[in-house]
Each structure stands twice: as structure tokens, then as C-alpha cells.
Structure 1
Amino acid sequence: MANDVGSLFNAGPQVVAGATSEEGLSFPDLGGPAMHCTDGTIDNVAPNEAGCFEQIRTVLSYLPDCGTAMPPVITCEDPTDRMSPDRRSIILRKRERMYNPRKIINTVVDEDSFFEIGPLWATTAIVDLARFDGHPDGIVSLNCEVNAGAIDALGSQKVTRLLKFLDVFNLPLVQFVDAPGYAIGTVAERTATMRHGVALGLAYCSTTMPIFSVVVRRVYGVASGLMLDARDPSMRVAWPSGEWGSLPLDGGIEVGHSYELKEIERKEGVEKRKEWCRDLEEEYRRLMNPVRTANHFGIEEIIDPTVTRPVVCEWVKHVYESLLLQRVMERVAGKIVPSFA
């Protein structure tokens, strides 16, 4: 939508004034970018019509001409073996501290190839198009700077929309996973997070484009399970900062061991209860170590964050040389029929 002239509404200001008594509304007040680029009706805003056309050209440059064609690959001057030592310090040692997920994405994808979709709505999720060694891909990352990264109803809708979009246009998906789970609380329940979360799970399990996951930090609950286990075989690596668990430890120990903790407090006092909580937390921290997960084949490899780009580029090259070619042939034969509906 063009910021200077764009507007969208079911009825104009005069009709609205007569029907609802809302008077004095301008076109932008009723249906301008500030309204619709923040609710998901419109994904992106541009300063003017020329900017809109430029964004459209950018999006089309990632896409094939039709669903039975390969996405266009361009020549890339950004080295695939480019290292970025700064990635080692993006995830802070203190687990409660937040970081900017876009910084991770920008250091891994081809230079100047990051195109974010819907940055002003559903800000718990970041979705975009990018390239790796000139090969177009979709990107998904949850935003830990908003709601600690817990995915809400709008975030579920945003990711669902991208998954179906990628499936239709034969684009693989690269995920940077830091998922504390679905949003909780009265606001989350009132906005139907559970219903939209189920739709997201359906999208992950019903789409068929290849997915590569890079676990950068938390892997908790159903949401992260859907993100990581939607494909068989799964392709996933982890940074040393990865953490696994069914629930976050903050509050999770109280829920999972409520009976034992109550009995200890009743029999031996509050101090003994606190001591037992500390012992449980230490034990669970040990179990959440990514090395343990790798030993049990929960991930393919633990990698140095510095080498993330070479690893992802190698996977993307393999996908384009073999998996996508096979997928296109299956679409031509009618074996795969993706739908955006």
C-alpha cells in the first residue's frame, strides 16, 4: 500500500458516518496504512506508488513464472564461505536477555537480499524472502524482542501464510529457531491462539517444501516441536546455545513437580523445598544441553555460529540440484498439488 495515497475500506467515510455515527474520518483514518499494515490485511507499506512497484518487482524476482518451474537463480558475488565471528556473541549468556533476530538473518543470507514481509503486523514472528548463493528461499524466525518470542494468534497466521506461499512457488524454507512456545494468558486465549496455532501445525504438516532448521536457542513445547519435526527426514543443526525442554524451567518445575514440592514443604519446610527446586533446575539444565540432544540424534550436528552461512548454503545448493527438481516433476505429474487456501 502506498503511504501517500493508499486506502482500503468496506465503505467510505460518508457511509460510515451515516451507519455508525463515526464522523470526520478521512480515507487514511478509515483504511490507510496505519490501519491495515498493522492488522495483516496489507503486508507492506511503501512511501508512494513507485515504491510499491519496486517492492512488487523485488518479490517477483524471487519467484518462478509458474508452480511447475524452478525459482530463478542469480549470480551471487557474496562468498558462500563467508564467516561472521560476530554471531558468536549475538546470543547472550544470560538467558533472560533478548537479541535482534534480524541481525542473525542478515549475517547469514546473501548481502542485500533480505526482503521482510509484513514487518508491522504479527511482530512476534519474522518472515521474509532471501537468497543463499543466489538461490531464493523463505525465512522464518520468531522475534524474542516481542512477547519473549512466544508465538501468538497473529504470528501463527503470518507464518501459516508464508508456508503456503512457499509451497505454491517451490521455495525451500530456512528457519532460525528460538521458540519458547505458544503465547499464554487471557489475551492469548481471547485472541484464539490455540485455534490459529492448530492451523499453523496443519500448515507445517501439509506443505511439502524442504525445510532446514538452525536452532539458535530455545526449543520448548508444541510450537517448537511443530517447527522442527514437520519433515521426515528432518534437517536441523544447532548452535551451542540451544536448549531443549517440554516447558521453560521458570514455572515449569513448579508445574511438573507440584505434588512433590508441596509434600516436601509440608514435611520439611520452605527452605528444603527451595533446595530441592535448585537441585531439579541443575539436573534439568544438564539434560537440556544440546550435546545430549545430538548424542540421541535429535539434531544432525552442533555447529559453530560462525559457519552457519556455509552450512546453509551447502544445503540450499543440494536442494536446488536434486530435491526441487524432483518436486517440480511430481507437480507436473499431478502428484503434488499445493494450495494457498
Structure 2
Amino acid sequence: MRATFEEGLSFTDLGGPSMHCTNGTIDNLAANEAECFTQLRTVLSYLPNSGSSPPPTLPSTDSADRLCENLRTIIPRRKARMYDPRVIITSVADVDSWFEIGALWGTTAIVGLARLAGHPIGIISLNCEINAGALDAAGSQKITRHLKFCDIFNIPILQFVDMPGYAIGTNAERTATMRHGIALATTYYSTTIPVFSVVTRRVYGVAGGIMLDCRDPRMRIAWPSGEWGSLPLEGGIEVGHAAELRGLGEVERGQRLKELGEEYGRLMNPVRTANAFGVEEIVDPAVTRRLVVEWVRRVYGELLPVRLLERANGKIRPMFY
């Protein structure tokens, strides 16, 4: 193709599914037409006929009080180790109700639709298995799109937060991570659909603050593995105490870093955050489903009817663009 200045380029190479499923133009890949229609029917089953109606609730045989005992051990004791965040999603949601959207692009984030006690919900999670969970430009765009989608269709959002912050480095700058990160922040604060946040591990930096502080009133719970801060201890101590550490010898520097790490580690206990009302409660991970089901029932029973009235009189005007 002369226009592309690339030799041997086929139409599939240029505009096929392998190209556009990884850049966000196409969200989901289907093996054939039948599977495509199956996926479309699945997505439509979560949606109301219009933005003036609540999402359809289906009967559910999955107990709202079901314990998720596997979640008690899913977060590794070593902070550097990763885990599969989709296990958390499928454990909390109704059995076989999880439908992921855009799995092949923006892989630092995971979004999709599921049900809780038969009620449709939107899911947002960070993916610690990619880029250590740091949110990049594509991941920010993916969450932005999902927030707007759920806002239009009155679908409440459940998000699992393990956020070390926005990605940094030359590639992050080259892809304009912060520009898309600011667009994400704007979307979090301008959309109005209720959000329930479950802090599974880290909440750091601007990105972590945006995810947790985007709604008022807020609904936030944390697992005992949760930790907060402006920066992770690794690197954050060296930045905050740079002047002090600069004047120490190698042995003294190592000892002082250890002392500071222990001191800040004690201050980062999630109980301190709960005592200051930074989260509503620190919970046993196994009861997460029960708590979220209680919340979603209240949303559908009390908050969504009010929201629909506000949309009808023009007080709320969700837009997807």
C-alpha cells in the first residue's frame, strides 16, 4: 500500500480484529457471528430499554449471604507479589454473571458487567498483574468509557481498589497518561451513579484519591490488607527524607531507612484510617458479598427511583462522548 509506506500490508493487518481489539476501537472479540450475537444479547440483558428506566432485575438463586472464604487468602503477604483480580470479581458477583468488556485493551484496568442478587452492576478493578497495577493512558480511557456507560444506563458501580498510582516513565509521557488521567478524574467527579469502593490493597497518589473520593456520600470499606498514602513507602521515604539521607554514610543511611520504614509502617495501619472515618468499616474479605448486596438492594430500592425522577425533570443529564 503506497499510502501507508508499509510493504506486504494486508487489509486484516491494517484493520482486522487483532488490531482494533487491542486499541479500544473494538471492545470484545467473537469467534463467529453466532457468538457475536450471544455477547450482544448478554450485554443487553443488563440494560434498561432507555435511560429513563432502571436496569432489569432477574431472579437469583445465589445466596446473598454466601461467604467468599477464598478471599481471605487471595492478597499475598509479600506486597511485591501479584494475584488474579478476576477471582475477586467472580467470587463476589452472582455465579456466572460476570461479563468482561474490553479484555484485550487497556489491560491495566478491568471493567465489565455483573449481577448482585439479580441486580445489574458495573465492575471496575485495577489489574495488578499488568504494570504492577499502575494505571496507564489506555486503562484510564477504558475506565472513563465504562463510568459514562454505567451513568447513562443507571447501573451502580462496584469497584475493587488496588491502586499504586498513575504509570510514570517515558512511555507514560509518550502516551499522555496524565492527560487521559485528568479526563478520568473529570469523569469520576461529573458522573453521578452510586459507587461502592472495596479497598483490597493499595491506595496511593492522585489516582487512588480520585477513585475513593469521587462520590459524596461515599461508601467505602477496606480489607485488613488495605494501605494508604501519598506515595508507597518504597521510594516515598527517600523522596520525603532526601535532605536527611543525603548527609549519611551508606551504613547509617540503611539503618535510618529501616527505622523510617518501621515508623511509617505503623502509621499506615488501616485501623487508623477507619478511626478517622476514612473508610466506613474494615471487614473480613469473606463477607464482602453480603455487604455489597445490602448496598445494591438499597440503591435499587431507594436511590435509583429518586435518580430517575431527577433525570425526568432535567436535574441529571448523563452524556456519553
Q: Please give the range of the TM-score, normalised by the shorter of the 2 chains.
A: over 0.9
Cα distance in 2, alignment partners of residues 179 and 23 from structure 1: 42
Cα distance in 1, alignment partners of residues 266 and 69 from structure 2: 27
Give the root-mean-square deviation of aligned CA atoms. Answer: 0.9
Tell me, yes or no, if structure 1 residue 271 matches structure 2 residue 255.
no
CA-CA distance at 1:160 after TM superposition: 0.2
Which of 22, 28, 31 aligns to 1:38? It is 22
Map 1:283-298; keep pairs closer than 5 Å. 283-298=263-278
Cα distance in 2, alignment partners of residues 123 and 52 from structure 1: 21
SS at 2:71's partner residue?
helix
CA-CA distance at 1:23 after TM superposition: 4.4
SS at 2:3's partner residue?
helix
Cα distance in 1, alignment partners of residues 276 and 19 from structure 2: 48
Map 1:13-162; keep pairs closer than 5 Å. 17-162=1-146
Q: Which residue of 2 aligns with 1:303?
A: 283
SS at 1:237's partner residue?
strand
Cα distance in 2, alignment partners of residues 166 and 314 from structure 1: 20
Cα distance in 2, alignment partners of residues 203 and 135 from structure 1: 24
Indicate the percent of aligned positions where both proteins have the same amino acid.
Answer: 66
Q: Which amino acid aligns with 1:153?
A: A
Task: State the number of aligned residues.
Answer: 321
The structure that has the greater radius of gyration is 1
Cα distance in 1, alignment partners of residues 21 and 250 from structure 2: 51
Q: Which residue of 2 aligns with 1:252?
A: 236
Q: What do the CA deviations read for 1:173-198 (whole angstroms, capped 9, x no partner)?
A: 00000000000111101110010000
Tell me, yes or no, if structure 1 residue 332 matches structure 2 residue 312.
yes
Which of 218, 223, 241 aligns to 1:234? It is 218
Cα distance in 1, alignment partners of residues 85 and 314 from structure 2: 38
SS at 1:308's partner residue?
helix
Q: Which residue of 1 aligns with 2:207?
A: 223
Tell me, yes or no, if structure 1 residue 169 matches structure 2 residue 149.
no
CA-CA distance at 1:27 after TM superposition: 2.9
Q: What do the CA deviations read for 1:191-224 (whole angstroms, capped 9, x no partner)?
A: 1001000000000000000000000000111101
Cα distance in 2, alignment partners of residues 259 and 22 from structure 1: 53
Q: Which amino acid aligns with 1:203?
A: T
